[in-house]
């Protein structure tokens, strides 16, 4: 109760003091208040509680310079706040001048807005009329003969009348002409539509990614002018085959460099139309045919093993399983075991097959599905195997680089960031135990079990980061060989006399790390049966693999190469995801 009384008393005192202040100022009831320190021209309303900041603000709000303005004075000594006094004549005069300037500016702004509105309408009307008139321009196709060509044939067809089909890759209207860079997958061709051709409705409303056919003559460009292949097609006719949308649905609104990565992944089907992505895919194709040519030169035969299998090769943790007519089956991790079965019937063999790994890790070098180039060779030593891998890689890369068109794409993809250097032979050979010592000498640590970083020890499965650091520091291809048996696959043969280690190899490349994994295979039946046991896998589904050791065993070895990893190295790509047509990784199976 006492509290309530005190509060009521305070309110009365406050009201009285305000009334007194107003009375003592003699301010009229329509007075507008300004507080240059605490007021606000936008949020204020001119009351004592919400004063304006400037006299001009008060004038603008009341649209008049004849109002009664009261300005808060500086506080006198002992006063918490100064009281209000009528604005001085000079302050009012200055504000009147500013008000006039403000009004002039508003009038000018309004005038400009109206002018722009009228001009805008006129422009729109003119555009509509132009489009309407354009509909009336009908250009018949000239009767003259033409040769249907792909863009890649353009150079040899210069000077003749040709017909090309393709997608509008770039588009520019300039000086009454329409410049189209046409793309058909085999190249880019600049086409120029001029005169009435560029005034047609189709030319005026053309959009990126529309499909068109264009006829005309291809002419070499004079010195100083640039276009793909140094020539351009002077069109005499064109027609739209399929129009792509403009506005919100326009291609560049779906695919652009600033888009979020997951949006770009969803739009991969459109992204591959771009110059970078399509260049990667073209080099990929060249690389694949170069691999095949190298294999033919080296005397290996291509086979196509199945993708649906009932055996694991590289451990159960990365298997994709599925129900196969009521039986358990998997997507293949590697075709190795099948390749081994071909040796007695076909000799040395290779395959280019998709492999699948249920990788939980989101690294830049792992995919859930990748293209696996694998080979298997009979009657050879581990040394022979390493030399074969070296020969295969060098021959394949040299051939790719010898193709000027492909070399141009590789240089384009490296951009300004250096240049691809073909590896020189021999590749460095480094024993696993040497690598452990090298890592420790260079203070490249590994995370310990308790999370504390520590020195590497023999037996460690060298982590990706450490391996990459070492490879980047050495800066050349490394054959890392002779891994401990515990960290490698069950089928790898042991080093004679050093049974804790295997005749195994990982080929490491700068910037990417491991691109090849291979080994000699156990060829002794009992040793293999023992290895199944150690691995904890039943020998039953492997009967056909085991039979290789029964019906004429032989020393043999092979390897698998991840095509996307090799491409990432060759094309200086940040991730293997850029090197696959439709990459799959954890959680991503579209498009
Ligand atoms: O080292 P890996 O697992 O070896 C094998 O599968 C053997 N059976 C191959 C053989 O001897 N025939 O895999 C071989 C290569 C790796 O060096 C790597 O380049 C690639 O396959 N690779 C992957 N590439 C992309 N994403 C993944 N998840 C990969 N896993 C392996």
CATH number of the domain to which 567 belongs: 3.30.930.10
Q: How far does the centroid of ligand 1 lie from the alpha carbon of residue 368, in Å?
A: 11
Q: How far does the centroid of ligand 1 lie from the alpha carbon of residue 339, in Å?
A: 15
Which atom of ligand 1 is found nearest the CA of 375? 12
For residues 411 and 553, state if they share a domain.
yes
Give the SS3 label for residue 362: coil
Six token digits for residue 310: 């009932």
Give the SS3 label for residue 365: coil
Which atom of ligand 1 is found nearest the CA of 313? 8
For residues 520 and 392, state if they share a domain.
yes
CB 189 within 8 A of CB 169: no
User: Is residue 559 included in any domain, yes or no?
Assistant: yes
Q: What whole-number distance in Å separates Cα of residue 34 and Cα of residue 17?
A: 19
Give the SS3 label for residue 216: strand
Strand 188-193 to strand 211-220: parallel, antiparallel, or no bridges (unpaired)? unpaired
Give the SS3 label for residue 107: helix
For residues 162 and 225, state if they share a domain.
yes
Q: What whole-number distance in Å separates Cα of residue 423 and Cα of residue 26?
A: 95
Six token digits for residue 354: 């998709």
For residues 387 and 292, state if they share a domain.
yes
Q: How far does the centroid of ligand 1 lie from the alpha carbon of residue 399, in Å?
A: 24
Which atom of ligand 1 is found nearest the CA of 357? 28
The residues near 499 (Cβ < 8 Å, ≥ 6 apart) are: 485
Q: What whole-number distance in Å separates Cα of residue 352 and Cα of residue 396?
A: 14
Q: Could you give the C-alpha distances from 471 to 59, 425, 480, 512, in angstroms and in order?
A: 75, 16, 10, 9
For residues 23 and 151, state if they share a domain.
no
User: Ligand 1 pocket test: which of 305, 366, 370, 371 has the largest number of ligand atoms within 8 Å of its C-beta?
Assistant: 370
The residues near 416 (Cβ < 8 Å, ≥ 6 apart) are: none
> Which string of DSSP letters, residue by residue, matches 432-452?
HHHHHHHHHHTT--EE-TTS-
For residues 422 and 550, state if they share a domain.
yes
CB 556 within 8 A of CB 528: no
CB 570 within 8 A of CB 410: yes
* Residue after which a domain boundary falls, among 217, 251, 285: 251
Place of tokens 């129009």: 243
Task: Please write the tens of the pLDDT for every residue from 347-360.
Answer: 999 999 999 999 88
CA-nearest of 301, 286, 284, 293 to 370 is 284
pLDDT in tens, the chain (591 residues): 445 444 544 454 344 344 434 444 578 989 999 999 999 999 999 999 999 999 999 999 999 999 999 999 988 888 888 899 999 999 999 999 999 999 999 999 999 999 999 999 999 998 888 889 999 999 999 999 999 999 999 999 999 999 999 999 999 999 999 999 999 999 999 999 999 999 999 999 999 999 999 999 999 999 889 999 999 999 999 999 999 999 999 999 999 888 889 999 999 999 999 999 999 999 999 999 999 999 999 999 999 999 999 999 998 889 999 999 999 999 999 999 999 999 999 999 999 999 999 988 788 999 999 999 999 999 999 999 999 999 999 999 999 999 999 999 999 999 978 899 999 999 999 999 999 999 999 999 987 776 678 899 999 999 988 999 999 999 999 999 999 999 999 999 999 999 999 999 999 999 899 999 999 999 999 999 999 999 999 999 999 999 999 999 999 999 999 999 999 999 999 999 999 999 999 999 999
Residue 237 domain boundaries: 147-251
Give the SS3 label for residue 347: coil
For residues 350 and 498, state if they share a domain.
yes
User: Is residue 460 included in any domain, yes or no?
Assistant: no
* Number of other residues whose CB lies within 10 A of the CB of residue 495: 17
For residues 391 and 497, state if they share a domain.
yes
User: Is residue 25 included in any domain, yes or no?
Assistant: yes
User: Is residue 300 included in any domain, yes or no?
Assistant: yes
Q: What whole-number distance in Å separates Cα of residue 290 and Cα of residue 393?
A: 10
> How many structural domains are present in the chain?
3
CATH number of the domain to which 162 belongs: 2.40.50.140
Q: How far does the centroid of ligand 1 lie from the alpha carbon of residue 185, in Å?
A: 31
User: Is residue 134 included in any domain, yes or no?
Assistant: no
Q: How far does the centroid of ligand 1 lie from the alpha carbon of residue 561, in Å?
A: 6
The residues near 142 (Cβ < 8 Å, ≥ 6 apart) are: 215, 236, 237
Atom 24 of ligand 1, residue of closest alpha carbon: 562
Quickly count helices (H) and strands (E) in the chain: 16, 24
Atom 23 of ligand 1, residue of closest alpha carbon: 562
For residues 223 and 98, state if they share a domain.
no
Place of tokens 């009454």: 176
Q: What whole-number distance in Å separates Cα of residue 480 and Cα of residue 517?
A: 10
Length of the chain measured in residues: 591
What is the maximum alpha-carbon separation in the chain? 120
Q: What whole-number distance in Å separates Cα of residue 213 and Cα of residue 232?
A: 15
Give the SS3 label for residue 231: strand
Which ranges of 455-542 does DSSP label H, i.e. alpha helix?
Answer: 464-474, 525-535
User: Is residue 469 included in any domain, yes or no?
Assistant: no
For residues 351 and 488, state if they share a domain.
yes
Burial class (CB in 10 A: 0-12, 13-18, 19+), 278: middle
CA-nearest of 65, 52, 64, 63 to 94 is 65
Q: What whole-number distance in Å separates Cα of residue 171 and Cα of residue 214?
A: 14
Six token digits for residue 137: 């321009």
User: Is residue 437 included in any domain, yes or no?
Assistant: no
Supply the DSSP symbol for 375. Answer: E
For residues 50 and 187, state if they share a domain.
no
The residues near 362 (Cβ < 8 Å, ≥ 6 apart) are: 585, 586
Atom 17 of ligand 1, residue of closest alpha carbon: 516
Which atom of ligand 1 is found nearest the CA of 562? 19
* Number of other residues whose CB lies within 10 A of the CB of residue 282: 15
Q: How far does the centroid of ligand 1 lie from the alpha carbon of residue 411, in Å?
A: 27
Q: What whole-number distance in Å separates Cα of residue 56 and Cα of residue 102?
A: 9
User: Is residue 115 included in any domain, yes or no?
Assistant: no
Q: The whole model's pTM is what?
A: 0.82
CATH number of the domain to which 30 belongs: 3.30.1910.20
User: Ligand 1 pocket test: which of 340, 353, 560, 570 has the largest number of ligand atoms within 8 Å of its C-beta?
Assistant: 560
Task: Please write the tens of the pLDDT for every residue from 294-303.
Answer: 999 999 999 9
For residues 298 and 374, state if they share a domain.
yes
Q: What whole-number distance in Å separates Cα of residue 161 and Cα of residue 523?
A: 66
Compute the Cα dihedral for 472, 473, 474, 475 and give only its sign. Answer: positive
Q: How far does the centroid of ligand 1 lie from the alpha carbon of residue 469, in Å?
A: 20
Q: What whole-number distance in Å separates Cα of residue 377 and Cα of residue 303?
A: 13
CB 400 within 8 A of CB 425: no
């Amino acid at each position: 109760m006492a509290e309530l009384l005190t509060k009521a008393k305070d309110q009365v005192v406050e009201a009285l003091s305000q009334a007194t202040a107003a009375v003592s100022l003699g301010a009229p009831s329509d007075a507008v208040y300004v507080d240059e320190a605490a007021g606000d021209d936008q949020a204020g309303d001119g009351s004592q509680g919400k004063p304006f900041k400037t006299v001009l603000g008060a004038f603008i709000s009341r649209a008049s310079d004849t109002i009664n303005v009261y300005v808060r004075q500086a506080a006198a000594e002992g006063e918490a706040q100064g009281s209000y006094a009528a604005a001085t004549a000079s302050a009012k005069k200055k504000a009147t001048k500013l008000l006039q300037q403000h009004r002039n500016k508003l009038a000018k702004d309004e005038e400009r807005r109206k002018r722009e509105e009228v001009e805008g309408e006129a422009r729109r009307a003119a555009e509509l009329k132009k489009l309407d008139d354009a509909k009336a321009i009908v250009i018949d196709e000239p009767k003259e003969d033409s040769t249907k060509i792909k863009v890649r044939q353009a150079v040899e067809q210069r000077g003749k009348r040709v017909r090309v089909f393709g997608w509008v890759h770039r588009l520019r209207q300039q000086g009454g002409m329409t410049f189209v860079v046409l793309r058909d997958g085999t190249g880019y061709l600049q086409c120029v539509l001029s005169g009435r051709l560029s005034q047609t409705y189709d030319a005026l409303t053309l959009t990126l990614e529309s499909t068109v056919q264009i006829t005309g003559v291809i002419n070499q460009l004079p010195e100083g002018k640039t276009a793909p292949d140094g020539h351009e097609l002077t069109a005499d006719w064109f027609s739209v085959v399929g129009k792509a949308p403009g506005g919100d649905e326009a291609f560049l609104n779906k695919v652009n460099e600033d888009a979020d990565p997951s949006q770009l992944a969803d739009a991969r089907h459109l992204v591959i139309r771009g110059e970078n992505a399509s260049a990667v895919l073209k080099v990929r194709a060249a690389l694949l045919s170069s691999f095949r040519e190298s294999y033919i030169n080296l005397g290996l035969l291509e086979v196509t093993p199945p993708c649906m299998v009932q055996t694991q090769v590289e451990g159960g943790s990365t298997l994709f399983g599925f129900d196969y007519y009521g039986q358990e089956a998997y997507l293949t991790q590697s075709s190795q075991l099948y390749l081994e079965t071909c040796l007695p019937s076909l000799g040395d063999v290779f395959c280019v097959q998709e492999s699948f790994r249920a990788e939980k890790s989101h690294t830049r070098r792992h995919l859930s599905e990748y293209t696996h180039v694998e080979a298997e060779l009979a009657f050879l030593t581990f040394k022979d195997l390493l030399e074969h891998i070296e020969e295969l890689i060098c021959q394949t890369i040299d051939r790719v680089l010898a193709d000027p068109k492909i070399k141009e794409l590789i240089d384009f993809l490296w951009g300004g960031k250096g240049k691809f250097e073909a590896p020189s032979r021999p590749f460095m050979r480094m024993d696993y135990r040497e690598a452990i010592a090298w890592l420790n000498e260079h203070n490249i640590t590994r995370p310990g079990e308790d999370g504390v970083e520590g020195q590497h020890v023999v037996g460690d499965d060298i982590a990706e980061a450490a391996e990459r650091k070492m490879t980047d520091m050495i800066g050349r291809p490394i054959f890392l060989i002779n891994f401990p048996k515990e960290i490698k696959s069950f089928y790898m043969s042991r080093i004679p006399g050093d049974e804790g280690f295997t005749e195994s190899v990982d080929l490491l490349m700068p910037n990417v790390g491991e691109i090849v994994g291979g080994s000699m295979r156990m060829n002794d039946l009992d040793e293999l049966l023992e290895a199944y046991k150690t691995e904890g896998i039943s020998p039953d589904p492997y009967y056909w693999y085991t039979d290789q050791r029964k019906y004429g065993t032989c020393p043999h070895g092979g390897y698998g190469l991840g095509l996307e990893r090799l491409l990432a190295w060759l094309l200086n790509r940040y991730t293997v995801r850029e090197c696959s047509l439709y990459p799959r990784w954890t959680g991503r199976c579209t498009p």
